[in-house]
């Protein structure tokens, strides 16, 4: 029989509840297995403030850059602790750049760590930042968390992220907070912006080019990942997908095998 979810646009899907044991299985990783979590727990440097489930996401998407010559740009400096963590995690070859609107944070620069002062919501500043920093391997937005700031940052710096780079926007729960310019399913929130990028990611399969056709994002983004309060974009060449068959047919090829089964 054919399964139909039958959800209306304003409805939420319902799933069986998690048991307590299943929830425990989903707990954060062992610090011994995640060097970022281990660093945070023993923090020998400046102050940091992080949601604990973020470290697994960081490690999953940033591990491939460890020990490599790379550039990470983190928007939002706070006390400078995370900049020191990235330096320790990525290694001495890494260039760590912190961006913040607060001028007094310029004093937090140190060998291997640069501080640039500016407003992430200002497109002119972001364009100047792109010229100043050059190609970016990791772009991490932990800045002001306002909707226009997050959207503007991705729009303006996407092209500056290397073809195999990664963009991570965190604290996206502010998309549901009206005081940050958000609201559930508000068309102007960062989460709704990200959902529209999912359409762009799949645009090769559109059968209505007047409403959706492959563009720059389609051809340069390999994947998107949604986590609690984090959206990740993994860049990579994304040509038009192809499909083919291999193996011996089990039925004549002119006999459909995916037809909808009729009730008897």
Say how far apart CA 212 and CA 200 lie, in whole Å: 7
205 is catalytic: no
Helix, strand or coil for residue 138? strand
Cβ(128)–Cβ(143) below 8 Å: no
Quote the CA–CA distance of 211 and 58 in Å, as a whole number: 35
Residue of 59, 61, 79, 145 marked catalytic: 145
DSSP designation for 84: H
Q: Structure tokens of 52?
A: 């604990």
Q: What is the DSSP string of 91-129?
A: -TT-EEEEEES-GGGGGG-BTTEEEEE--TT-HHHHHHH
| DSSP H/E element including 25 | helix 20-25
Measuring CA to CA, how many Å separate 96 from each of 16, 23, 81, 99? 43, 35, 12, 10
Catalytic residues: 145
């Amino acid at each position: 029989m054919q399964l139909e979810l039958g959800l209306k646009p304003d409805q939420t899907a319902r799933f069986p509840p998690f048991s307590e044991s299943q929830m425990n299985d989903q707990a954060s990783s062992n610090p011994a297995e995640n060097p970022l979590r281990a660093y945070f727990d023993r923090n020998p440097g400046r102050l940091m403030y992080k949601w604990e489930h973020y470290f697994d996401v960081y490690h999953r998407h940033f591990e491939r850059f460890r020990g490599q010559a790379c550039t990470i740009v983190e928007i939002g400096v706070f006390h400078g602790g995370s900049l020191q963590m990235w330096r320790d995690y990525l290694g001495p070859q890494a260039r760590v750049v912190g961006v913040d609107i607060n001028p007094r944070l310029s004093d937090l620069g140190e060998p291997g760590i640069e501080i640039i002062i500016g407003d992430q919501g200002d497109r002119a500043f972001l364009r100047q930042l792109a010229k100043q920093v050059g190609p970016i391997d990791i772009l991490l937005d932990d800045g002001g968390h306002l909707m226009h700031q997050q959207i503007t940052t991705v729009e303006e710096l996407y092209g500056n992220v290397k073809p195999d780079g990664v963009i991570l926007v965190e604290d996206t729960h502010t998309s549901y907070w009206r005081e940050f310019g958000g609201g559930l399913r508000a068309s102007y929130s960062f989460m709704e912006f990200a959902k529209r990028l999912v359409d762009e990611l799949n645009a090769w399969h559109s059968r209505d080019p007047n409403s959706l056709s492959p563009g720059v994002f389609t051809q340069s983004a390999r994947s998107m990942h949604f986590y609690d309060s984090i959206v990740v974009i993994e860049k990579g060449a994304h040509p038009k997908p192809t499909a083919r068959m291999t193996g011996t047919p089990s039925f004549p090829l002119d006999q459909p095998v995916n037809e909808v089964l009729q009730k008897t």
